[in-house]
Amino acid sequence: MAPERNRQPLPRRPALLGWGVGLLALVALAALAAPLLAPHDPIEQIDPPAARHRPPGTQLIAVHLDDGGWLLADEIEVREHSVRLRRRGDWQELSRHRITNLEAGGIPDRRRFPLGSDRLGRDLLSRILYGSRVSLLIGLLAGAMALALGLAIGGTAGLAGGWLDAVLMRGADALLSLPRLFLLLAVAGLFELSTAWLILILGATSWMGAARLVRAEVRAARQRGFVAAALSAGTPPWRVLVRHLLPAALTPVTVDTTLRIGDLILIEAALSYLGLGVQPPLPSWGNLVADGSDALLSAWWVTAFPGAALTLTVIGLNLLGDGLRDRLDPRRA
């Protein structure tokens, strides 16, 4: 008989978990601190003709008028009875009496665009920060809904067995066979989706993989003696499921949910890019990328920076999922 080979444990990769946590912590802190970090209101439009598609680092002079409006200028010349403003290369002259923030040394107010501006002159950094709140909220809530449905349906199927197991799993297989993105496009095209409905639809179409994982873990755990003893002692099946069986399934389903949240954020971004998800003026990373699609060469920053935020978040979620799998998998050293 050939000697039994020693099974070497799979290597751990602790750096993955650290990088994933670091990236996600950075994104989450930026989203939470958006009111403090954003230099401007994300939907505020001040003088769009002058502020439109300004590159990163632009600083414009903000001229406050007596009627409450604002004009933005690249340069000003203060004269005895008037002020000349250079806006997009053209000069415009205003009476000094029309300007309320004119001081002896000129006009001190400035409008800054650290990451540039979009086609309506809105500050891109502010919209990315507030858009992170929308995109992360949709991904997290839809992922939580998919996790809850997966635990409930998969746990019920694994514990009950028989015809109920067959019905639930065949239903999951049928939903998995449908192209989800096309289904979402059809629903979004027929109905005008609010953010709440978008979360519900994404969560309701994302539970099948989690359910199959939970079912497999519950069916394996129910063969153990303590489960049979608990059921024989008259413990209600739902209590056995909640207290003994579902905890055994939390490790693989947690990793799966972490990866699924990144997938949900990408799907929301795709729908918003097509104009079927989050609707303007509410910012999300998807519609921010769409805002710059008509000026990729002349205003690359409008698409590049939201796309970078989306990419880093999904990479962070994937690194976190891989790191959790390494940490929680008993086959690894």
pLDDT of residue 126: 96
- Whether 223 shows a pLDDT value over 80: the answer reads no
Q: Residue 61's pLDDT band (boundaries 50, 70, 90)?
A: very high
pLDDT of residue 195: 87
> Which position has the higher pLDDT, 125 or 278?
125
- Whether 230 shows a pLDDT value over 80: the answer reads no
CATH class of 122-328: mainly alpha
Q: pTM to 2 decimals? A: 0.87
Of 54-63, 127-136, 193-202, 304-313, the one with minimum mean pLDDT is 193-202
Average pLDDT over residues 168-185: 85
Average pLDDT over residues 127-156: 93
Query: 253's torsion region: left (phi>0), alpha (psi -120 to 50) or beta?
Result: alpha
Average pLDDT over residues 133-149: 94
Point out which residues pair with 86 in neighbouring strands: 75, 91
- Whether 8 shows a pLDDT value over 70: the answer reads no
Angle, helices 124-160 vs 301-328, to 10°: value is 30
pLDDT of residue 14: 60
Residue 72 token pair? 């933005």
pLDDT of residue 2: 47
Alpha-carbon distance 322 to 258, whole Å? 9
> Which position has the higher pLDDT, 20 or 234?
20
Q: Residue 6's pLDDT band (boundaries 50, 70, 90)?
A: low
Length of the chain counted residue by residue: 333
Q: Which of 283, 327, 244, 250 is nearest to 120 (CA)?
A: 283
Average pLDDT over residues 142-152: 93
Domain-wise residue ranges, the chain: 59-113, 122-328
Gyration radius of the chain over CA positions:
27
- Whether 12 shows a pLDDT value over 60: the answer reads no
Angle, helices 14-32 vs 301-328, to 10°: value is 130
Average pLDDT over residues 264-272: 90
Cβ atoms of 242 and 158 closer than 8 Å: no
Query: Which of 1-5, 55-59, 255-259 has the highest mean predicted lDDT (pLDDT)?
Result: 55-59
Average pLDDT over residues 74-97: 92
- Whether 245 shows a pLDDT value over 90: the answer reads no
Lateral strand order in the sheet of 82-87: 75-78, 82-87, 90-95
Over the stretch 161-170, which tens digit does the pLDDT of each residue have?
889 999 999 9
- Whether 221 shows a pLDDT value over 90: the answer reads no
The whole-chain average pLDDT of the chain stands at 87
For CA atoms 319, 286, 193, 182, give the dihedral sign.
negative
Q: Helix, strand, or coil here: 112?
A: strand
Cβ atoms of 128 and 284 closer than 8 Å: no
Q: Does domain 59-113 have CATH number 2.60.40?
A: no
Position of tokens 């991904």?
Answer: 139
Alpha-carbon distance 139 to 317, whole Å? 11
Residue 2 token pair? 């050939």
Alpha-carbon distance 204 to 238, whole Å? 23
**179 Cβ contact list (under 8 Å, min separation 6):** none
Average pLDDT over residues 21-25: 92
Residue 22 token pair? 């670091």
Q: Residue 217 corresponds to which amino acid?
A: E
Average pLDDT over residues 317-329: 83
Q: Which of 83, 102, 101, 107 is nearest to 93 (CA)?
A: 83
Q: Phi and psi (nearest 5°) for 224?
A: -75, 155
Alpha-carbon distance 73 to 218, whole Å? 66
For CA atoms 124, 126, 131, 136, give the dihedral sign.
positive
pLDDT of residue 59: 96
Q: How far is CA 202 from CA 1, 103, 187, in A?
A: 54, 55, 11
Enumerate helices (H) and strands (E) in the chain, giving the number of each.
13, 6
pLDDT of residue 77: 93
Q: Residue 4's pLDDT band (boundaries 50, 70, 90)?
A: very low
Q: How far is CA 254 from CA 213, 243, 249, 322, in A?
A: 10, 17, 9, 11
Q: Residue 91 corresponds to which amino acid?
A: W
Q: How far is CA 219 from CA 236, 246, 249, 287, in A?
A: 17, 11, 10, 43
